[in-house]
């Protein structure tokens, strides 16, 4: 079990096109709660160095999670400001954090890829890959959830005993409230609103779907992994571009 508080985030939208690992930015107005509309963050996300950082960071993903083929496309991306971003006179960010979500499809594993960025006082940007899909867990909860999900996948019925590693192929937010044990949604006004998700794990030629409960309270969030459903890995045929 892992406990941590859930982070509040502001949101803004930015359109992009994705072709294999080359990201080309289009011009759009950027608006975000808590973010000054001076265009600095929008300009940053269009820069070549930022695009190269995206490509390097996505390169860390295993092919079972981020499949590449000629038909790979992305309809756009969403940039979410987590902590207000400030910029130095040089034009480089020197504080703040944000994440960028890229929906991808066409290569057999349609999902949403998430990158998290943090600007440092020396005007550098640190980037890491979050879990794919629609999880509502922040990075801290994701780290804790991965540990629990790994154990859940390895312990699932019919999984080979010598299989010692699973990647998170996708995550799906199911609903607020819990399915098992049955717990009604207390509503958006409740600060301790529980929710559950399905995490799809992949390893050793098998896929394991795990139900995962997130239960916040005054001390943090408890993560509970339920019994997994195992299926054989079936490689989908990539969609050919018309």
Q: What pLDDT was estimated at residue 27?
A: 30
Per-residue model confidence (pLDDT) at position 145: 95
Looking at 81, 111, 129, the residue that finishes a domain is 129
Give 47-70 pLDDT, tens digit per residue.
999 999 999 999 999 988 988 888
Residue 149 lies in a domain: yes
pLDDT of residue 233: 53
Same domain, 95 and 161: no
Considering the domain architecture, whether residues 151 and 125 belong to the same structural domain is answered as no
120 Cα distance to chain centroid: 22
| CA dist., res. 220 & res. 224, Å (int) | 13
Domain boundary among 109, 129, 149: 129
Is residue 111, in this structure, part of any structural domain at all? Answer: yes
> Do residue 22 and residue 117 come from a single domain?
yes
Strands 195-203 and 206-217: antiparallel
**Residue 79 is assigned to a structural domain of this protein:** yes
* Residue 36: pLDDT over 50: no
pLDDT at 68: 84
DSSP annotation of 219 reads T
**187: pLDDT strictly greater than 80:** yes
Q: Whole domain around residue 150: which residue ranges? A: 139-232
What SS3 state is found at 43? helix
**113 shares its domain with 181:** no
In a domain, 202, yes or no: yes
Instruction: Kindly state whether residue 57 falls inside one of the protein's structural domains.
Output: yes
pLDDT at 239 over 90: no
- Decide which of 4 and 102 is more confident: 102
Q: Is the peptide bond before 5 cis (omega within 30 degrees of 0)?
A: no
Q: Can you give the pLDDT at residue 49? A: 93
- Tell me which of 137 and 16 has the higher pLDDT: 137
Residue with tokens 């982070």: 7
Q: CA torsion 141→61→81→224, rounded to 10°?
A: -20
Task: Determine, yes or no, domain membership for 66.
Answer: yes
What confidence tens digit (pLDDT) does each residue in 66-108 have?
888 889 888 788 898 999 999 999 989 999 999 999 999 998 8
Phi, psi of 24 (to 5 degrees): -110, 125
The pLDDT assigned to 237 comes to 39
Average pLDDT, the chain: 82
In a domain, 22, yes or no: yes
pLDDT at 40: 86
Mean pLDDT of 115-132: 96
Domain count, the chain: 2
- CATH number for the domain spanning 187: value is 3.10.450
Q: Which residue has the tokens 């991965």?
A: 146
58 in a structural domain: yes
Give CA–CA dist 143/211, Å, rounded: 16
């Amino acid at each position: 079990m892992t406990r941590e508080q859930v982070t509040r985030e502001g949101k803004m939208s930015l359109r992009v096109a994705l072709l294999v690992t080359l990201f080309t930015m289009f011009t759009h107005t950027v608006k975000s709660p808590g973010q000054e509309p001076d265009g600095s963050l929008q300009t940053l996300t269009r820069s070549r160095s930022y695009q190269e950082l995206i490509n390097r960071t996505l390169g860390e993903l295993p092919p079972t999670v981020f499949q590449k083929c000629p038909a790979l496309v992305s309809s756009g991306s969403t940039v979410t400001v987590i902590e207000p971003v400030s910029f130095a006179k040089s034009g480089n960010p020197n504080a703040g954090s944000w994440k960028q979500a890229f929906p991808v499809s066409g290569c057999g594993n349609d999902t949403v890829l998430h990158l998290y960025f943090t600007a440092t006082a020396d005007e550098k940007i640190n980037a890491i890959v979050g879990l794919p899909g629609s999880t509502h867990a922040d990075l801290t909860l994701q780290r804790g959830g991965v540990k629990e999900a790994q154990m859940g996948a390895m312990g699932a019925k019919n999984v080979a005993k010598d299989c010692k590693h699973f990647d998170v192929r996708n995550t799906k937010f199911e609903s607020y409230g819990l399915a098992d044990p049955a717990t009604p949604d207390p509503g958006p006004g409740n600060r301790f609103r529980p929710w559950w998700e399905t995490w799809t794990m992949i390893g050793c030629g098998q896929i394991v779907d795990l139900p995962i409960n997130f239960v916040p309270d005054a001390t943090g969030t408890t993560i509970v992994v339920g019994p997994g459903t195992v299926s054989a890995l079936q490689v989908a045929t990539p969609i050919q571009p018309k």
